[in-house]
Structure 1
Amino acid sequence: MFFIAYKDFLYINQIAMEAYGAILNIVMPIFVLLFLVEKVVEWYRGAQVIRGLDSVSSFSSGITNVVKDVLGVGISVITYEWLVQRVALTHMPANSIWAFAIGFLVVDFQGYWVHRWSHEINFLWNRHIIHHSSEEFNLSCALRQSVSSFINYFTILLLPAALLGVPTMVVAVIGPLHLFLQYWYHTQLINKMGVLEYILVTPSHHRVHHAMNKEYLDKNYGQIFIFWDKWFGSFQEELPEVKPVYGVTRPVRTWNPIKINFQHLWLLMQDAWRTRNWWDKVRVWFMPTGWRPADVVEKYPVDSIKDVYHFEKYDTKASRALIAWSWVQMFFNYFLLAYFFANLVNIGSPGIFYYGGFLFLAIFAYTELMDRNPYAVYFETIKSALGLYLIYQSGGDWFGANQNWGAWMTYLVTAYFVLSVITTVFFVEKEIKLTVAN
């Protein structure tokens, strides 16, 4: 009986994974197009809301997040289906508009509290810091999503939907839709929106949320509806006399999204190890975000922004050629991502995990170059060597590309691996090391 149930679980998971990949291949180009529209509007207005390397970092973070989601690398302490089976008072049909309306409202309610707790509890902040790490605010920073949230503790917040018997499939459809609808309001180029300000989360509301001004810090947690903040006392209107300043008060100082995802966790681990107080070793994880043991604060201070109006944004000296190459790297890996999502079932397991791991390594490598790390050469070489080895092991084929898309793709990928190493060596030797020496 267990074996049959487990087979059913694997089948459902495979179907969901394939569907999610197909949806992402539709949605991601739309996100890129809207970003380009924002760039054109920025240029037309003479505004400055987009920086090249910052946006490359943001898009790269989005790639890592969707790969993690599609691979299903995570554990739910309680699954929604388990909850429905045990507490449902009635059962709603999956094609009911009320099932979708109630499900959407409850998912948004859950989103509000998970979001709020991620700001208020030390160990939960690690899963959210990536989203606030950009010191700009534009559409690309919406893609800064976590790869460090391996465990879902909060399915219990969907209890109202479970009680009313909203089907699991409905909640599964609402989940990604709810996430994608949070993209559009990450912009400085849309002002207040009249009556919508009372109902929906708007760009104005979300600018407040991303700001680190004392007037705005830790406000406006809503994801689609703003009334949760007004009901639960966390609402703050954008003030005309207080221009939002974006980022986190402990700046991340890197373009590498994988490093950003685990910076706070590493700090908590160090603090728990270093403090001499055994009670502090336990409570450091559950205290308000930013709290550190007194003995650790004194001996191991960390960089923090004291005056949000006078600090130097993270930037790296990069030529136009290096910035352009960073965009090329990101878009080529996005191309590899599109192939990945289009052929998930054909690639199969464990191939999809090799592919996903390769994409993580590729992003780590080129964002280290963006950070002007001379060791980027070694990361890039390891990545390309691994890619060439995977092609060799499969008989000269990039994860079935010869059959699915034609041999030209394997040739293209092979050429890219060689070119990426040569180009990285060039930038390290001619730009990074030369600048350090001078």
Structure 2
Amino acid sequence: MFTNETLSVSFGADLSRDILRGLAQMFYMVSPQETTFEEPEEVPKYFRQAWPYFLAFLIVENVLLWMEDKTLIRFNDGITSLSHGLFLECGRLVFRGAENVAYIFIYENFRLVELPWDSAWTWYLAVVGVDFCYYWLHRACHEVHILWAQHQVHHSSEEFNLTVGLRQSILQGWCGFLFYLPLAVIIPPAHFLTHQQFNLLFQFWIHTKSVHTLGCNLYCLDKNYGGLLIIWDRLFGTFADERPKEEIIYGLVYNQPSFNPFFLQIFYNMNVINKWKSMSNWQDKLAAVWKGPSWIPGKPRLGADEDKLDIKSRDKYNVQLPLWCNLYLLIHFVVVVIGFQELALRYMGMSPLAVLGFVAYILTSLTTIGMLFDNHPYACLFELVRCLAFV
């Protein structure tokens, strides 16, 4: 018989191990023995499980900034970044991994070799392969206009802190998965799904490192694309070291004054459409879509440096709200996060229509919170309707 004290000690030890294991996963400090799976269905949702760590480390970051007498994470900007992370996760709930179907199909029908799924060599090959493909995906997202339209949200914050790692595009996955498909002829799907998540989790930390300083300054514009390994940037000529004497200006070159996550996710697509419309012939119209964002007729594919803005300074967009309003928005944001976590636990047992309805409400709530941060003239009306719908 086990005493209550023995059970408590055992539970505490198990909980400590789980916490340490989750912490290690944030740094890609995992072993092949613990993270090798035979079937894709066996792969845990590592990114979704990491949300408590995301929030905990954001608190730690703020405490450290306060102790060093530095500017804290701006409340409105930080909540907006977290909202983008929830946008991404909500998209995954709706699509239910449908974008991975093509990978599995190619592997099952066209693989060149069948690597042993339980081999450490297969595991390490997947680490390198996923990161190599991510480099080219990330680079393409900066060098192809239509892909940049989806990726730009990641660079829309005028701050550079851990929250920016969660500022992801809900649509980029549906463009980006194509870059991973070449791996399907070699890497088993379960290995791919595992390391794609760990690669993304690790990138949460590179938003504290100089190697990822992608700002509006011309010297570091469209540089440093690597996710896990910086070697790809050095090999392919896209590495830019930080210049300590030059202040880096973060955000988009033409930054949008908004904290509305829905608007920030989609607004740039209109820029692509307008540029396409402005071209006089079909060749230039197509080039306006697949060449770089800075391209204009008669210039190189990525545009000429002399035509690009080299931003040295600018005022950050900010809207001051009363303390009570910020507290109100914080409470409602926490409620949305809790609601999302409940949905994430139950969605596989729900009908697609029900999941879509809950996701729509979550996205509407996050959008309304952003509108309130912007002090949008219709924000209060949207909030009233949202609250009535909840009741």
Shorter-chain TM range is: 0.7 to 0.9
User: Structure 2 counterpart of 1:94, which letter?
Assistant: W
Structure 2 unmatched ranges of 5 or more: 1-38, 299-306
1:57 aligns with 2:80: yes
Which stretch shows the higher mean deviation, 249-258 or 269-278? 269-278
Residue 169 of structure 1 corresponds to which residue in structure 2?
190
C-alpha displacement of 1:157: 4.5
Aligned length: 345
Q: Deviations over 1:266-299 (max 9, x none)?
A: 12123323555444333211121133679xxxxx
Which aligned pairs between 1:231-310 and structure 2 lie closer than 5 A? Answer: 231-291=235-295, 306=309, 308-310=311-313
Structure 1 unmatched ranges of 5 or more: 1-11, 188-202, 295-303, 389-438
- Considering Cα pairs closer than 8 Å and 6+ residues apart, tell me whether 1 or 2 has the greater RCO: 2
8 A Cα contact 2:147 2:175, kept in partner: no
8 A Cα contact 1:148 1:262, kept in partner: no
Residue 212 of structure 1 corresponds to which residue in structure 2?
216
Which aligned pairs between 1:103-122 and structure 2 lie closer than 5 A? Answer: 103-122=126-145
C-alpha displacement of 1:236: 1.2
1:387 aligns with 2:390: yes
For residues 162 and 344 of structure 1, the distance between their equivalents in structure 2, rounded to whole angstroms, comes to: 28
Residue 432 of structure 1 corresponds to which residue in structure 2?
none
Q: Deviations over 1:205-237 (max 9, x none)?
A: 01x2x2221121111100010000000000111
State the identity %.
26
Q: Which among 336, 345, 349 is matched to residue 346 of structure 1?
A: 349
Q: Deviations over 1:116-161 (max 9, x none)?
A: 01001111101211110000000011110001226335545453x4
C-alpha displacement of 1:350: 1.9
Residue 200 of structure 2 corresponds to which residue in structure 1?
179
For residues 179 and 145 of structure 2, the distance between their equivalents in structure 1, rounded to whole angstroms, comes to: 21
8 A Cα contact 1:344 1:352, kept in partner: yes
For residues 172 and 77 of structure 1, the distance between their equivalents in structure 2, rounded to whole angstroms, comes to: 8
| DSSP 3-state at the match of 2:117 | coil
For residues 32 and 132 of structure 1, the distance between their equivalents in structure 2, rounded to whole angstroms, comes to: 20
Q: Which among 317, 327, 330 is matched to residue 330 of structure 2?
A: 327
Residue 433 of structure 1 corresponds to which residue in structure 2?
none
Which aligned pairs between 1:43-192 and structure 2 lie closer than 5 A? Answer: 43-48=66-71, 50-72=73-95, 76=99, 79-149=102-172, 151-152=174-175, 154-155=177-178, 157-159=180-182, 161-164=183-186, 166-187=187-208
Q: CA RMSD, aligned part only? A: 2.6
**TM norm structure 2:** 0.81
Q: Which among 370, 374, 387 is matched to residue 373 of structure 2?
A: 370
Q: Deviations over 1:345-378 (max 9, x none)?
A: 3333321111111111111111111111020123
Q: Residues 81 and 103 (structure 1 numbering): CA distance in 2 closer, same or farther, change over 3 Å? A: same
